[in-house]
Amino acid sequence: MSGDSPAERAGRRRARLLVAAVVTVVLGVSLILAEAIDLDKSIRPLIPDSSPELAKSAGVLDLAPFSKVLAVQLAADGPDSARLLPETADAVRARLDPALMDAPALDEQIPDMAGVMALLPALADGECLDQVATAMDPAALGPRLAVLKDDLSGVNAAVTGLFWRADPLGLRGCVFKNFPRLTGLPQPDPMIGYPVSDDGLRLLILIRPKVAMSDTDGCVALMANLEESLAVSLPEGVTAQIAGGHRHTAANSGVIMRDLVVTMSLAMILILAIYVFLVRSWGALWLFLTPAAAVLIATAIMSLVFDRVSGLAIGFGAAVLGIAEDYAVHVHFALRRSPDSRTAIRWVARPLFMSVLLCAGGFGVLWWSAIPAIRQVAVFTILSIVVGYAWAILVLPHCPGMDTPRERAMPPADLRRPRKRACLATVGVFACLTLVLFAAVPRNASVRSLGHASRELLSDQAAIEKAWKLNQDMSIFLAEGGDAEQALALVRQGEASLRARMPGLESASLASLWPDAAEQAARIAAWNSLMAERGAEFTAAFTQAALEHGFAPAAFEPFLQWFAAKPARIDAEALRSAGLGFLLNSFLSAKDGKTYATLLVQDAGANHGVSALDGNERIFALSARGLEHGLDRAMSQDRWLIPAAAVICLLVLLWTFQDGYFALLAFIPSLAGLAGVLAWFMASGHPLGLVEAAGLPLVVCLGADYGILAVHEFSEKLDLGAARAILVSGLTTVAGIGILILARHPVLKAMGGTVFVGLVAAMAAAILLLPRLCGEKRTGRDGA
């Protein structure tokens, strides 16, 4: 370079200034855009959206009855529990932030008897109407009132005292029999105001969050407030456990953020350490900037392309750091050994471009994954790789200290041909091994594998579910309607469909307590007819009998007023007036202008329920089994991504080498990586889940990337320091991805583990196996 003319030096200076200006502007704009990115820290992007019903179900997850409450169990194992538990519960409730959550008042949970009786005419079926007619018989009134009087003074007084004035004839059963039996939520002790266990040692606070389960920031704030309330309020001897979807969301959000910071930082430190030990030049500083710039610019573009970006996709950035800088490493070593930067770029641009194509192809197939977050990982990684390549080719040669040759050019490597039989046999063995292992590895379509749940969280949830029989073996369906009547009509259809297929199946919804308009009208008409015929006679006889039994004239005023009133139709307001607001909220929800009615079905242990409602696109299944069924289908769908990635890789390799055997040789690390990771799954018992399956195409393309660089040395008469470059870039890639094993979120951990093991196997094959499969020396690729 010292022999450059002043004009050349000036030209380089101008180019350098231009590049610096452009890079500064691009990085500045990227920084602003990346700052504004809307990160989704929930597990929602992990729910496959390939099937419309699964996508819709995921969209309304937070409308399920159990999603609408947070259960806080207080436990005290001692003689003071009866005093401590309600006191503590009150103290916790008092500290809850009303903007984030509340606990329903007792009045909302205990029926008001006059309101309940007002529901009766619209619920009075034939059997009930017969019961009413019998109770109205003047001859039956005397004995009935005598029993009532005894009950008011005997052991039944506590219950009788609640309803005797509104229901002296004992007709409330006609209403109560329509109450959904599978509410799934324990009823409060009317004295204490909270559900209390039989042994009195546990108390449950049911909290109504005011933030959606998908609102990660809201859930984090809610959990922080709740945990603070508990920390301040819990006396010695009282413990608390929390269960609910909002806790899961908050936990996942926290873990994703922690993983983002930890893995990114560690990956940067590790990559820097590798540069310091293996590159040993100031150029390492520019190398280090490459992945950082690539990730920054890719993040900025992601913020423009997607409304919300999964935190997990960005969390995969730690791995991307290790991949994106590969090109810079190769350019760096080429610059050190070539006479000038143009020559170096000319030498490496094509093989590196092939490598970009390979990676883009491998990650590109992930675009067809059923999981939205995986698709975002694909876009994010491809963007990072393309930016990393562009940075290496366009920016790096202009960086100070990068364009000066520092090392003596090494003698050309021996040009070798693959040993055909050995190459074919190796490919065959690895391909068969991969197929056999892929068929044998256990599958896992569990929903829980997609979300972070600490041991404490799972243990709390299991303890609460067991103690209070919450959410046990229950399928949840949500019917979508324009209003409550429409949604409930769909629920009725769904229930009828289920019952037709599975007679005796136990189910629950608000439909039984809120009949359709026509049915209500018919029942009210029958009621009015009975009252018109016998009402006046009954009222006179009842009033007389009451007086004869010593009751004051006003004793049954609520009953007689109801009896004389015009029967009203049942609607949301009527149910709220009857003190059934909590029940109403559990079974009916509104979101985005739609009303959703809940149908709970006792899960018979199969997917029959789900399939029974298939075909009605306005009813969504929210059962764990249904979701797992959907995940399983999504996993089957994602399975073809692996051969697709393999085909893309082979095509790129063929195009690169224009030689079938070289292409097969370069493909061996991919197969070795696949076989290695599947063997690891088998040996460790680690199941193949959705995320692991999505990681396998990455192993294929990154393995082929090693192959292409290793074989390049055999196929071209060029030594650009490829061996050292492979070592450095391989180590940084493995380090970046390996860091993900430290992640606490299962998705990042699974992805990191899968790709890490696969890449170690692929690297070993590239470094140790490929040279042994090349035996024939030649003087040049074209025989020259």
Partner 1 sequence: MKFVPLFLMLFLVAAAASAGQPRAVDTRLQEVQRQMVGVRQISGTFTQTKKLEFLKEPVVSHGRFFFDKPGTLTWEYVSPAPSGLKMENGKATVWNGPPEARVTQPGAMSRAAKMMADQVMMWMNFRPRDIQAAYDVGIAGENPLTLRVVPKRDGLRKYLKSITVALADDYRTVRSVTLEEDGAATTLDFDDVRFDQGPPRGMTE
Cβ-based burial of 131 (10 A; exposed 0-12, middle 13-18, buried ≥19):
middle
Shortest Å, Cβ 384 to partner 1: 60
The residues in 683-742 that bind partner 1, with binding defined as CB under 8 A, are: none
CB nearer to partner 1: pick between 158 and 518: 158
Whether the CA torsion 650, 655, 657, 661 is positive or negative: it is positive
Residue 113 burial (CB count, 10 A): 21
Only one of the segments 149-157, 478-486, 513-521, 700-708 lies at the binding site for partner 1 (rule: CB under 8 A); that segment is 149-157
Is 159 an interacting residue with respect to partner 1 (CB under 8 A)?
Answer: yes
Is 236 an interacting residue with respect to partner 1 (CB under 8 A)?
Answer: no
Q: Measuring CA to CA, which residue among 472, 508, 487, 513 is closest to residue 589? A: 487
Shortest Å, Cβ 166 to partner 1: 12
Give the CA distances from residue 154 to residues 160, 230, 327, in Å, rounded to whole numbers and listed in that order. Answer: 9, 42, 89
Cβ pair 71, 173 in contact under 8 A: no
Cβ pair 475, 625 in contact under 8 A: yes
d(CA 705, CA 323): 10
Helix (H, G, I), strand (E, B) or coil at 503: coil
Q: Which two tokens stand for residue 722?
A: 């490829």
d(CA 205, CA 194): 6
Residues 6+ apart with CB under 8 A from 351: 330, 656, 708, 709, 712, 716
CB nearer to partner 1: pick between 82 and 140: 82
d(CA 756, CA 750): 10
The residues in 93-112 that bind partner 1, with binding defined as CB under 8 A, are: 106
Q: Checking phi first, is residue 471 left (phi over 0); if not, alpha (psi -120 to 50) or beta?
A: left
Q: Which of 199, 236, 592, 782 binds partner 1 (CB under 8 A)?
A: 199
Cβ pair 286, 272 in contact under 8 A: no
Cβ pair 660, 18 in contact under 8 A: no
Shortest Å, Cβ 749 to partner 1: 44
CB nearer to partner 1: pick between 2 and 153: 153
CB nearer to partner 1: pick between 555 and 694: 555
The residues in 169-188 that bind partner 1, with binding defined as CB under 8 A, are: 188
Shortest Å, Cβ 192 to partner 1: 5
Strands (E), 611-698: 619-621
Is 308 an interacting residue with respect to partner 1 (CB under 8 A)?
Answer: no
Only one of the segments 34-42, 157-165, 220-228, 435-443 lies at the binding site for partner 1 (rule: CB under 8 A); that segment is 157-165
d(CA 713, CA 764): 17
Q: Which two tokens stand for residue 182?
A: 């599978």
Is 200 an interacting residue with respect to partner 1 (CB under 8 A)?
Answer: yes
CB nearer to partner 1: pick between 156 and 543: 156
Is 155 an interacting residue with respect to partner 1 (CB under 8 A)?
Answer: yes
Is 189 an interacting residue with respect to partner 1 (CB under 8 A)?
Answer: yes
d(CA 478, CA 50): 19
Is 442 an interacting residue with respect to partner 1 (CB under 8 A)?
Answer: no
Is 210 an interacting residue with respect to partner 1 (CB under 8 A)?
Answer: no
Cβ pair 222, 507 in contact under 8 A: no
d(CA 631, CA 369): 12
Q: Which of 111, 115, 193, 351 binds partner 1 (CB under 8 A)?
A: 193
**Pattern 533-562, partner 1, x by CB under 8 A:** -----------------xxx-xxx------
* Residue carrying the six token digits 């995986």: 374
CB nearer to partner 1: pick between 185 and 740: 185
CB nearer to partner 1: pick between 333 and 582: 582
Is 82 an interacting residue with respect to partner 1 (CB under 8 A)?
Answer: yes
Is 87 an interacting residue with respect to partner 1 (CB under 8 A)?
Answer: yes
Shortest Å, Cβ 459 to partner 1: 25
Only one of the segments 4-12, 25-33, 192-200, 753-761 lies at the binding site for partner 1 (rule: CB under 8 A); that segment is 192-200
Is 218 an interacting residue with respect to partner 1 (CB under 8 A)?
Answer: no
Q: Which of 45, 48, 65, 86 binds partner 1 (CB under 8 A)?
A: 86
Shortest Å, Cβ 630 to partner 1: 38
Residues 6+ apart with CB under 8 A from 40: 216, 308, 309, 310, 311
Q: Which of 152, 305, 436, 462 binds partner 1 (CB under 8 A)?
A: 152
Residue 742 burial (CB count, 10 A): 15
The residues in 60-79 that bind partner 1, with binding defined as CB under 8 A, are: 79
Is 116 an interacting residue with respect to partner 1 (CB under 8 A)?
Answer: no
Structure letter (DSSP) for residue 502: S
Helix (H, G, I), strand (E, B) or coil at 238: strand
CB nearer to partner 1: pick between 58 and 116: 116
Shortest Å, Cβ 98 to partner 1: 18
Shortest Å, Cβ 480 to partner 1: 35
Only one of the segments 121-129, 190-198, 474-482, 775-783 lies at the binding site for partner 1 (rule: CB under 8 A); that segment is 190-198
Is 191 an interacting residue with respect to partner 1 (CB under 8 A)?
Answer: yes
CB nearer to partner 1: pick between 82 and 572: 82
Q: Which of 2, 153, 439, 615 binds partner 1 (CB under 8 A)?
A: 153
Is 156 an interacting residue with respect to partner 1 (CB under 8 A)?
Answer: yes
Q: How many residues bind partner 1 (CB under 8 A)?
A: 35
Residues facing residue 73 across a β-bridge: 204, 241
**Could you write out the DSSP letters of every residue in 368-403?**
G-S-HHHHHHHHHHHHHHHHHHHIIIIIGGGSTTTS
* Residue carrying the six token digits 């380090």: 735
Shortest Å, Cβ 90 to partner 1: 8
Is 590 an interacting residue with respect to partner 1 (CB under 8 A)?
Answer: no
d(CA 465, CA 400): 64
d(CA 557, CA 564): 10
Q: Which residues bind partner 1 (CB under 8 A)?
A: 79-80, 82-83, 86-87, 106, 149-159, 161, 165, 188-193, 198-200, 550-552, 554-556
